[in-house]
Structure 1
Amino acid sequence: METLSVIQPYTLWDLTHHSIMYPSDILYLNGDYIIIDQYNHRILWIDNKGALIRSSCKCGGTKNLFQYPTSLCTDYHDSIWVTDRWNHCVRHLSGKGELLGSFGVYGTQPGTFSEPWGIGFNSGKLYVSDRNNHRIQVFDTQGNFITAFGNSGPDKEYFESNDFKRGFIFEHWKNISHKFLTYDTLFYDNEYTIGTFEYPQNLSLSPSGNIAVADTGNDRIQIFSSSGSLIESITTHAMPDKSDFFSDILFIDDDTLLITAELNNIAYRKSGNCVETYYTLPEGRLNCISKGANGDVIALDTWNAKLAFFK
């Protein structure tokens, strides 16, 4: 990763012929590209030429598969773990897509979920961002709850309002709670608190086990140790384009973090350095990133159903 400051060339696959609607995550596994087709409630397996191999097509409640699957990861055994957002659970699949099990139900107690979003695996543990419960939960691969960290903050009154219950969240909510005074201001006294979350979404784990969380409602990325201790926060004001929404994050190694914000670029940050632009995709909207073959970075253009490969 010595040439991170150089805008890299890319190739592009058009996935629209697969009738994909809002792809939300991608995983490269054993030569295939596994894509979450979120609004069609399915997962697609694409070969290295862009052809469809198979899909999981079931949709419905908890007795079927998937209502708005959102994120996925793999473990030591090349099986796949998927957050099933509207069924409030995590699904366990084989590398070929067979259902092996699931865990989680709707709730607020430890081990339950309200719209689980991001997921990652490290050292035998699954880390899940429990979006509407404003926390990160940790499980073993049998689905047993281990621990959790984080709590909601700020704007608690809005969580209980009728607007929130009806789902009118972002525009009104951003207007009343997302204001920063100066560059790199992390919180107001008694309002923004380091270590709390507002609707955490995607997450990424470094090789050493640190956890980067897209704390979307608070316009920041928070980085924690494997035990849940806060290491640092990065606000959206640190982004080259001054974006106000973090979409996805990816640890390339222990020191390098890639960041995207549903714009046409991917930024990177070396530990202790400023955030800089790395990749650019003209007229694209890059919202999720992953590692591909041979050290490539792969990114989904969610709005246009395209897959970009950066060398």
Structure 2
Amino acid sequence: MRVAVVGLGAVGTRAARQLASTDGVERVLLCDTAEGRVDEVSSSLGSKAVARSGSTEQVPEADVVVLATPCGTQLQAAQKLIAEGIPVVTTSDEIDEVRALLDLGPEAEARGTSLIVGATFSPGLTCVLARLAADRLGSVDEIHVARLGTGGPACARQHHGSLGGVAVDWRDGGWQRRAAGSGRELSWFPDPIGAADCYRAALPDALLLVPAFPGVGRVTARLAATRRDRLTARLPMLRPPHPEGGLGAVRVEVRGRRDDGIAVEILGAMDRPGVAGGAVAALAAVELGEGRACHLGAGGLATMVEPKPFLRELARRGVKVASFG
């Protein structure tokens, strides 16, 4: 199969590297607006990589396309690709864009194709963890997601802005809008990360998880942040973000019931968000390219892939999941 990666930041570059090392992928088409970036990445990936010139808005000649451009820039490209019947993986975690991408579901279904929305570390891996945890329960009442860390500069800017926006939670059959930066909770992530204070933020997780779990009573998402992060969230970033962030982590807590009563499943993962996000996006593209999407239309990974095979392959690629006892 031929897979195009549009946008060669931290996540896109890692996704391209993962795809270039996948046996079933014949060509990895690379596209980015930054001058020289395509040639730089292409030269590091070997013979499978093909530098593609031209605008990132042009429809690539590929079997699957991964959109890894900055948040807020993926909708128009996704619309064009879906109109051509090309399967798409997006990496956006911006609320309005995720909502608009999900709205492309009916057209994608009519075109006989699939659109995976939010295929990164979080959302993305967290959606798969939520599905795995839910499968261990008889019914699901609540899902709570927490994340720590950032990938590349675009991710860091999105992280910064999300603490100054409006959080969207699901509670008792309706949406609740709360001020980002509120609702502090202490969350425990896999070692060596440990405990961190997490706050409401403008995160799209609930938009992806609520449709995947009909009848769920509550879905929340929180972001680890320091006091300085919260105080400066509505100001421009004080210093340029690092090209690639350090260690990050995610945690998914699913509360529900089994035959013997109330039960809780907690899963997590620790990795550099850019590395893990690239692996998730690449594997999602392989799933689409090999025709293993669970349904046509648009949705998050909680509805688009089978969790156990997906996580087994992800672990083989170096991204492993931990279960909290």
Q: TM-score, normalised by structure 1?
A: 0.35
Q: Which has the higher strand share?
A: 1
Q: Which structure has the higher relative contact order (CA within 8 Å, separation 6+)?
A: 2
